[in-house]
Amino acid sequence: MFFDEPGISLNCPAEAESSAAIPVEIEMAADARTYWDNNGILDHALTVALVRRDAPGLRFLPKIDPNAIMLPDEPLPGRPSEASLDADRDLTVETKVFDVGDGFGALRAGAAEYHVAAAFSKWWAVPRRLRVRDRDGRVRGPDQPFETIPVARHVPTNAGEGVSLTLARDDGRPTLVSEFRIRTLKAYETGCWLTILGLRLNTRGGASGGLFRLVTTPHAFELIGRTVIPLSALAPGVTVGNWTFLAFIGDETSAPLEVLLGDDDVESV
């Protein structure tokens, strides 16, 4: 991809075999400030997440081999002035390819379906769908959640079709409200799971998320409900700044919720 401005692109196959390589390609284009804020290592501001569509699961991919021994990064010398960073229009472009079926991606344990999401610094890519097939007929069990699974409360609602996400405040505390109406049995064959993914959009990047079991029952072959998730239920904890939040239930994805969180929001979490 040719970049004429900072950003990110995400490419992955729609289908792949569990016994073969499963490449997820990320291209990052950093402006001067992003480059220097990350000490010249663009991976620092990169997040790649796998959200299960067919079962519970949220995992952030490691960006280096977890068995590697890494020394602390030395500060990059020669940082330009703030005015120079503002005026610099040059881009640093890097490509990173994850084989999510390799030793530390570990998707080789059977068939499964995923949303693949990625963000870099202040930019994010529309999630792609990935179906992993298995020639031996194995089916991958639920992935371990990134954080403890709390039970979400259910309130009947007249929600529109699909899944939505909005920000509200409950006694001054910021909360995420998700409403859903899904016309498929697939979403609750595994027990009704809502995944929240938060992407922190600043030069250093960052992410947060949670996996929630919905306490509800199908209504006339529809999954209908409303659930309120406090930001304190997400991990790692949310911080001050610009965030984009996405909600997933089965194959459904919400529209992005863009939120600016201030000091009062974070202190009340």
pTM confidence score: 0.90
What band does 166 get if pLDDT is binned at 50, 70 and 90?
very high
Residues 6+ apart with CB under 8 A from 158: none
Cα–Cα dist 44/64, whole Å: 10
Mean pLDDT throughout 233-245? 93
Q: Give the domain ranges of the chain.
A: 1-144, 146-269
* Architecture in CATH for domain 1-144: Sandwich (2.60)
- Could you give the percent of the chain with pLDDT greater than 90? 50
Cα–Cα dist 116/41, whole Å: 23
* Architecture in CATH for domain 146-269: Sandwich (2.60)
- Kindly state the tokens that stand for 102: 């390799």
Local structure of residue 6 (DSSP, 8 states): S
The number of beta carbons lying within 10 Å of the beta carbon of residue 37 is: 19
- Kindly state the tokens that stand for 256: 């992005």
- Out of 46-55, 63-72, 139-148, 167-176, least confident range: 63-72
- Out of 14-18, 36-40, 101-105, 122-126, least confident range: 101-105
Mean pLDDT throughout 249-254? 93
Residue 220 has pLDDT above 70, yes or no: no
Q: Which residues of 145-162 are buried (b: 16+ CB within 10 A; e: fewer)?
A: bbeebeebebeeeebeeb
What are the residues facing 213 on neighbouring strands?
A: 151, 193
Q: Which of 69 and 73 is assigned the larger pLDDT?
A: 73
Q: 45 φ, ψ to 5°? A: -105, 15
Residues 6+ apart with CB under 8 A from 16: 22, 101, 130, 131, 132, 133
Cα–Cα dist 182/194, whole Å: 12
- Kindly state the tokens that stand for 98: 């994850």
Which of 112, 118, 140, 97 is CA-nearest to residue 49?
118
Tens digit of each residue's pLDDT (9 = 90 or more) over 95-144: 999 888 765 445 667 899 999 999 999 999 999 999 999 888 888 888 76
- Kindly state the tokens that stand for 233: 């239920």
- Out of 59-63, 127-131, 236-240, least confident range: 59-63
Cα–Cα dist 8/130, whole Å: 19
The number of beta carbons lying within 10 Å of the beta carbon of residue 12 is: 21
Mean pLDDT throughout 49-73? 77
Which of 120, 86, 114 is CA-nearest to residue 100?
114
What band does 225 get if pLDDT is binned at 50, 70 and 90?
confident
Q: Fold match between 1-144 and 146-269?
A: yes
